[in-house]
Amino acid sequence: DSGVTQTPKHLITATGQRVTLRCSPRSGDLSVYWYQQSLDQGLQFLIQYYNGEERAKGNILERFSAQQFPDLHSELNLSSLELGDSALYFCASSEGDRPIEAFFGQGTRLTVV
Amino acid sequence: KNEVEQSPQNLTAQEGEFITINCSYSVGISALHWLQQHPGGGIVSLFMLSSGKKKHGRLIATINIQEKHSSLHITASHPRDSAVYICAVRLGDTGNQFYFGTGTSLTVIP
């Protein structure tokens, strides 16, 4: 158990809908990273938050957004969903603002139908 | 072109065999990570390397910064080692992002 909790584990939704994925980092970790793993693209970095502020941005679509709350949990919002958004979404956390040692959650499997 | 290339893509081994998975990268990095993804999807961080060699149980990871290459070795492989092994690099100039290889799918047969 990495200490990083992601909910829900599985999510099935229709195209055009909006979903929210949640991540609770390890106790004491200030950084949260979001990754998308799709069959054709592999793992890709989406975005990082550190202590409530956006720190780095990767290949995140404009339809996606994230935030980190004062209690350090983070949410990834995916809107106007398309079939191609079906993927595993991972959250990782680290103590500092660099992923020197990152701990991964179990992922949320999103299926868009 | 992907900044991180892994080989082989798929690997099948008999239990007890010595296994090597390779990772090459094309840019300057500040660190390299080896990750293990189990069939259920969960990801575990195995090693973080910036130089030299690290060992944890039957797993050994090495990195050659000059050659931009890292290897993950598994000694006395076991069916429970069956997983996807992913190399991830943290680029020197970005610092905060991982770039991932496509993974090596390992199956160890009893």
Among candidates B44, B95, B97 on the partner chain, residue whose Cβ is nearest the Cβ of A104: B44
Say yes or no for a CB contact (<8 Å) between B101 and A2.
no
| Residue entry with tokens 């195209």 | A15
pLDDT at B95 over 60: no
Cα A77 from chain centre? 9
Amino acid of residue A59: N
Contacts of residue A42 in chain B, CB cutoff 8 Å? 100-103
Average pLDDT of the residues in B88-96: 71
Full DSSP string of A58-84:
-S--TTEEEEE-TTS-EEEEE-S--GG
Express each pLDDT in B6-62 by its tens digit. Answer: 999 999 999 999 999 999 998 888 889 999 988 777 888 898 888 899 999 999 999
Least confident of A5-9, A24-28, B81-85, B88-92: B88-92
Q: What is the pLDDT of residue B40?
A: 74
* pLDDT higher than threshold 70 for residue B96: no
pLDDT number for residue A100: 62
pLDDT at site A86: 96
Backbone angles phi, psi at B23, to 5 degrees: -140, 125
Beta-carbon count within 10 A of A101 CB: 15
Whose structure tokens read 């010595």?
A: B18
Give the model's pLDDT for residue B1: 58
- Return the residue of B nearest to A48 by Cα: B96
pLDDT over 90 at B106, yes or no: yes
Position B92 scores a pLDDT of 67
pLDDT tens track for A56-96: 888 899 999 999 999 999 999 999 999 999 999 999 998 88
What SS3 state is found at A105? coil
> Please, which residues have CB within 8 angstroms of residue A112's CB and are 6 or more apart in sequence?
A12, A13, A14, A15, A17, A81, A82, A83, A84, A85, A86
Confidence of residue A1 (pLDDT cuts 50, 70, 90): confident
Q: Is B15 helix (H, G, I), strand (E, B) or coil?
A: coil
Q: Could you tell me which chain A residue has the CA closest to the CA of B36? A: A104
Residue A56: what pLDDT? 86
